[in-house]
Amino acid sequence: MSTVVSGRRIAEPGPVKGRRFRLPTRAPRTPRPARQPRPKVPLTREQERLVLMSSVLTMVAIVCLWSLAQMLLLGRLSEDRSQGLLYPEFRHELAAQTAPTGPTTVDADGKTVAVAPGEPVAVVSAPEIGLSQVVVEGTAPSDLLAGPGHRRDTVLPGQEGTSLVYGRATTYGGPFGKIEDLRAGDHIYVVIGQGRVDFTVLGVRYDGDPLPPAPAAGKARLVLTTAEQLRWGMSPGRAVYVDAEAPKAYPAPSGRPAAVPEPELAMQTDSGAMPLLVLCLAGLVAVTLGVIAARQRWSAALVWVVATPIVIALSWGTTDVVMRLLPNLI
């Protein structure tokens, strides 16, 4: 969002363009302080329009840049941090033998509850491509911000049957960005609550490739899924699969949902994030207004110091919400 403080604009990117772009229109109207020694030449109508346009475009650029930065750089930090928290948590659960072994788990009170989305359920690693990630439960776009997600209507990786694990290819650390490089015969190691399973990659499967036969009884199939990549972070926006199989498998407890909501399917978006987005944007507007008001009263430095972290935090949160509106595998 943008604020106008004594003729200077502080731009804070937010995800939705329309709202923010209108704000700078007030810029020319703001009274200029005496610090501008040049005699004021009243701007012509045309110049005003140009200034307005320039401001709008600056906003557009800043919003886009922020989004890019968040997806590619800040998102990586965020994902790294999530993993950094998830790993010890899962390690602790493994040690305590409380790691989920199925769709449900027993909570502290001894009640059987469904494994909540976002809980760590497995660690997947593939040394050939330097992959080592904690897999969380759930594959909705928001779940995948923290790392690869396990699709909830499939068995856990390493259990008998086919398990689907989704991961982002480019954004938020792109944990699955390199799985296309896996070759038949490469190994994928998975650790779940029941133990460790050694998968052997069958191959990379693109759109139109024949589906592999269903896994035989007693075997575990792992299908890593992400978005296909071209070069320079480009993607055809199409899912790509890596099939892997393990000869031994742990038994899979029952209780899996028969289906998962649409946002948890590959390449889907979560339109349920809309209300939250409205809230976030409203928050940004509120902050903007607050900054304008504060600027009347306090010095610029003070307002800067106070407002910047708030704005950045809000923007960060807003972009995270926006990510839920984008396909989950990119």
Partner 1 sequence: MRTLIRILLACVALAATALLGMAPAADASGTDAFTATKTVTRTVDGATTSKDVTVSVDHTLNLRGRERLQISWSGAVGTSAQATNPYGATGLTQEYPMVIMECRGTPDTVKPETCYTSSIAQRSAGTFDGDSAIWRRDPAWAGATAPTDPCKTPNNYTVPFIAANGKKFDYCTDQDVAPESLLPAELLGYTSKEGTGAASFEVRTDVENESLGCSHTTACSLVVVPIMGTSCDARKGDDLQFAYCSANRTYAAGTGYGEFEGTPAVKGNYWWTASQWKNRITVPLTFALPANTCDLLDKRPPVGFYGSELLAQASLQWSPAYCLDQKRFKYQHNQMGDASGFDLMLHDQAAGALVSSQHDAGADQVAYAPTAVTGFGIGYVIDRPAYDENGNPQVGGEVHSLKLDARLLAKLLTQSYTGNAVGAQHPGIESNPVSINEDPEFQKLNPDAPRVGRIEGATLLSLSEASDTVEQLTDYIAHDKDAMAFINGAKDPSGMVVNPSYKGYKLPTQTWELKDSFVGNTDCWKANPSPFFSLMAAPVSRMYTITQALIDAQPNIQTRCEEQVNAATKWKLGKIDRQGYGNRFMLGLVSLGDAERYGIDVAKLETTDGTFVAPTHDSESAAVALMKQKGARQPFTLDQAAVKKSATAYPGTMVVYTAAKTCDVKADVADHVASFVRIATTEGQVPGSGNGRLPDGFLPIVKTGATAPLFKAAQQTADAVAAQKCAVPAVTPATGGTTTPAAMAPAAVTPPAASGPDKAAATTPTATTPVSMGTTKAPTAAVGFVLLPVLFALALAGALASVVARVLVASRS
Nearest approach, Cβ of residue 243 and partner 1 (Å): 7
For position 293 contacting partner 1 by CB under 8 A, the verdict is no
Tell the residue number behind the tokens 């928290």, with chain if given.
85
How many Cβ atoms sit within 10 Å of the Cβ of residue 217? 8
The number of residues that bind partner 1 (CB under 8 A) is: 68
Task: Provide Rg for the chain, Cα atoms.
Answer: 25
Beta carbons of 328 and 294 less than 8 angstroms apart: no
Joined tokens for residue 151: 């699709």
Contact range with partner 1 by CB under 8 A, out of 100-108, 117-125, 142-150, 322-330: 322-330
- 68 lies in the site for partner 1, by CB under 8 A: yes
Tell me how far apart the alpha carbons of residues 105 and 209 are, in angstroms, rounded to a whole number.
37
The C-alpha atoms of residue 108 and residue 141 are separated, in whole angstroms, by 28
Tell me which of 7, 127, 185, 255 binds partner 1, using CB under 8 A.
185
Closer CB to partner 1, 217 or 301, in the complex: 217
Residues 6-65 that bind partner 1 (CB under 8 A): 41, 43-44, 46-47, 50-51, 53-62, 64-65
Work out whether 86 is an interface residue with partner 1 (CB under 8 A).
no
For 292, residues 6+ apart whose C-beta sits below 8 A from its C-beta are 3, 4, 5
Residue from 33, 37, 210, 275 binding partner 1 (CB under 8 A)? 210
Task: State the pairing for strand pair 120-126/187-192.
Answer: antiparallel
| Out of 108, 211, 258, 301, the residue judged to bind partner 1 by CB under 8 A | 211
Residue 255 binds to partner 1 (criterion: CB under 8 A): no
Sequence-distant (6+) residues with CB within 8 A of 293 are none
How many Å apart are CA 225 and CA 168, to the nearest integer?
Answer: 9
Minimum CB separation of residue 6 from partner 1 in Å reads 18
Give the nearer residue to partner 1 in terms of CB position, either 111 or 231. Answer: 231
Residue 117 engages partner 1 in binding (rule: CB under 8 A): no
Least separation in angstroms between residue 278's CB and partner 1 is 20
Residue 60's H or E segment, with its range, is helix 45-69
Q: Is 116 in the site for partner 1 (CB under 8 A)?
A: no
Whether 15 and 281 have beta carbons less than 8 Å apart is answered as yes
Tokens of 177: 């960005």
CB 15, min distance to partner 1, A: 11
* Residue 133: CB minimum distance to partner 1, A: 21
Of 1, 71, 145, 222, which lies in the binding site for partner 1, with binding defined by CB under 8 A? 71
Residue ranges in 70-161 assigned as alpha helix (H):
75-96
Residue in 4, 146, 220, 266 binding partner 1, rule: CB under 8 A: 266
Q: Say how far residue 134 (Cα) sits from the centre of its chain.
A: 15
How far is it, in rounded angstroms, from Cα 330 to Cα 239?
Answer: 9
What are the residues binding partner 1 (CB under 8 A)? Answer: 41, 43-44, 46-47, 50-51, 53-62, 64-65, 67-68, 71-72, 170, 180-181, 183-185, 202-216, 227-228, 230-231, 233-241, 243, 245, 265-269, 326-327, 329-330
